[in-house]
Structure 1
Amino acid sequence: MKDKALNAQEVADILKIAKNTVYELVKRGEINSYKVGRNLRFTLKDVEDYISNSKNLQPTKKAKVEGAVENLPSPTLEGLGKGFVISGQDLMLDILSNYIERHPKGVRTLRSYIGSYNSLIELYRGNIQVASTHLWDGDTGEYNIPFVRRLLPGIPAVIIHLTYRMQGFYVAKGNPKNITTWEDLKRSEITMVNREKGAGSRVLLDENLRLLGISGYGIKGYQNESPSHFALASAVGRGEADVAVGIEKIASQVEGIDFIPLQKERYDLVIKKEDMQLPVVQAILEILASHEFQIEFKGIGGYDIKEMGNIVAET
């Protein structure tokens, strides 16, 4: 499956961008491709490499096709200087950034594609203005609030709900090894592939293993890390691993896998309380409450947006 030929439309569907944007990525040399006659073709590895290489801070601009977002690479958090930065890896944040730039109160918006834990640290350091997070605390059973309190000490913050998503196992089609619980991961015949440290899915895994008294380092493949949910699901689909932890909506985009639901998670935005009266932050609240923005996700599986825009807590 690693070498399966994909056309431009299939790549666009995987990345949730416009087909024309795929051609622009090829022209800019950001994604590898090859030609069969006069037609462009891609491999799954090409797509995974593009996703991996995009895990740095990137500005966004309105794409040529309405509703699509192009990501223009920039080197590091330090290299862009001051700007309005939203951090996190979900498609929702790319679309939100596009809406912000079109809003009367909006500003040029930059995107940082780092995980939940590191997003909160960068918010604490003042390098970003909006962090997204889906970090589960095993002792309280709560999402995000305990981590915001720990990682933003002395900084009042507001937690705003974005969506609910389902976390679970990616397994081979038909689940031939009958992997259904966290305890199954310690079976000697099971090989997993993991997210990087600080990713919400990695924290969910580690917290559940801690509660069960299971050492991750005793699990085969635990130290084998991939940079995205798509990369995890693809590794399972290719037979390189038996299981991985990720979100449901990616499972429908990768052949040869099934999804075993485990836990509904809350995906939130975190903003410093001192920034809540900024015009751009007020624009975000208006966008999240708008029918126009919410309807974007009606046709995309894996999102529960009925509480979008609600203030979850103030710390």
Structure 2
Amino acid sequence: MKRIKVTPTWCFSDEEGHRLDTHLLSLLGAVHRHGKLTHAAEEAGISYRHAWNLLHQGGEFFGVTLVEMARGRGARLSTLGEKLLWAEQRATARLSPQLDSLSSELNLAIQQHQEGVHPVLRLHASHGFAIELLPQHLGELQLDLQYCSPLEALAALNRNGCDLAGCHLPRGTVGEKARRKYRRLLKPRYQRLVGFIARQQGLMVAPGNPLGIDGVAALAERQITFINRQASSGTRELLDSLLDEAGIVSSNVNGYEIEEYTHSAVAAYVAAGMADAGFGVEAAAQRFGLGFVPLATEDYLLACNKRALKEPKFDDFLQVLRSVAFQKAVQGLPGYSPSQCGSVIEIGSFL
């Protein structure tokens, strides 16, 4: 089944209407990864001559060199080149939940128009690497995926606005705040939980961890700058619980009030050198070449109405979660593992 994905595209133009080739940013990213223009051009799918011309045009457009080249030292991004690259990666990471939700809506509309009305599984959940895998494994099962916070997802489930609602529960004492919240929101008599994945959360730091950041206590050291997640996210709630457990007042964390909206956006912020540490999943840290200090394990679960489990579309969905292919894909994500994946769980026993 054909699936459409919406991705952002940058356009640089000046007051005279001059525009830059859109290949420039992909070329800068390839230079950053390889350190050689020949390899960068090959990855970007353009000739060496075209790559050289692109860099020359970019330099003239901005009035500043974007890539510094020296005999025997290869190629490296200039200060402006790095800023352009990290700005693009941060913007893409920020926009990805909204664009993925839009992609889901478009694919659903196209499929229903082409094939008639078919059962649709409506999933509301926070953005994450494992959730991103689902559309690739569902085959003919249509998924209406909307990204939102756990509180928003559970509220939608309780008003019949979705079929499945994502929620995360940290293991151990640090998860007690989340347990109290879910006891108020979940209805053990009428609802069930579906096991999904477990994931490691912790601090993303510069490669090699040069500042020796080993836990949340280090965040209270004023010379360390931090980048946070938004207040509505489950990741932010987990961080707050870890700070409370360590006896750290959030106002003592330099950068606590600065927020990003995805794990990847936090990682891109740290990778750009704009903060010394951020909090999120290991998969995001590895994707941006960062170090990672694990601090907590949390279960990511999907809540649903008990009666809905009798519907054929739910049986199809559970079979996907239980499949070797999906669980192998989850295991390929750093810090992720299938956890009771596809199992139906009594709410009372889990909480």
Interval of TM-score (by shorter of Structure 1 and Structure 2): 0.7 to 0.9
Task: Name 1:198's counterpart in structure 2.
Answer: 232
Larger radius of gyration: 2
Post-superposition Cα deviations, 1:190-231, rounded to whole Å, max 9, x if no partner, equal 211101122222111111222333321332111100011111
* Mapped partners of 2:317, 2:158: distance in 1: 20
* Mapped partners of 1:230, 1:161: distance in 2: 24
Task: Name 1:4's counterpart in structure 2.
Answer: none
Task: Name 2:94's counterpart in structure 1.
Answer: 52
Post-superposition Cα deviations, 1:23-51, rounded to whole Å, max 9, x if no partner, equal x746xxx3326234767998343343233
Task: Name 2:23's counterpart in structure 1.
Answer: 35
Alignment of 1:1-315 (within 5 A): 25=6, 30-32=8-10, 34-36=22-24, 43-56=85-98, 57-60=101-104, 84-88=121-125, 89-100=127-138, 102-103=139-140, 106=141, 108-136=142-170, 141=175, 145-152=179-186, 156-255=190-289, 257-305=290-338, 307-315=340-348
Post-superposition Cα deviations, 1:120-164, rounded to whole Å, max 9, x if no partner, equal 233223322211222438757469654332223587321122111
How has the CA–CA distance of structure 1 residues 147 and 185 changed in structure 2, closer, same or farther, with 3 Å as cutoff? same
Please state whether the residue corresponding to 2:265 is helix, strand or coil.
helix
Give the paired residue count.
Answer: 270
Do the aligned partners of 1:31 and 1:46 also contact (CA within 8 Å) in 2? no
How has the CA–CA distance of structure 1 residues 306 and 275 changed in structure 2, closer, same or farther, with 3 Å as cutoff? closer
How has the CA–CA distance of structure 1 residues 157 and 140 changed in structure 2, closer, same or farther, with 3 Å as cutoff? farther
Task: Name 1:66's counterpart in structure 2.
Answer: none
304-313 or 199-208: which moved more?
Answer: 304-313
Q: CA deviation at 1:298?
A: 4.2
Please state whether the residue corresponding to 1:46 is helix, strand or coil.
helix
* Mapped partners of 1:168, 1:71: distance in 2: 35
Task: Name 1:14's counterpart in structure 2.
Answer: none
Q: Which runs of 5+ in 2 are unaligned?
A: 12-21, 25-45, 56-83, 110-118
How has the CA–CA distance of structure 1 residues 282 and 31 changed in structure 2, closer, same or farther, with 3 Å as cutoff? same
* Mapped partners of 2:177, 2:137: distance in 1: 26
Q: CA deviation at 1:293?
A: 2.4
Q: Which runs of 5+ in 1 are unaligned?
A: 1-19, 63-69, 73-81
* Mapped partners of 2:267, 2:187: distance in 1: 36
How has the CA–CA distance of structure 1 residues 164 and 59 changed in structure 2, closer, same or farther, with 3 Å as cutoff? same
TM-score normalised to structure 2 length: 0.67
Q: CA deviation at 1:178?
A: 1.8
Choose between structure 1 and 2: higher helix proportion: 2
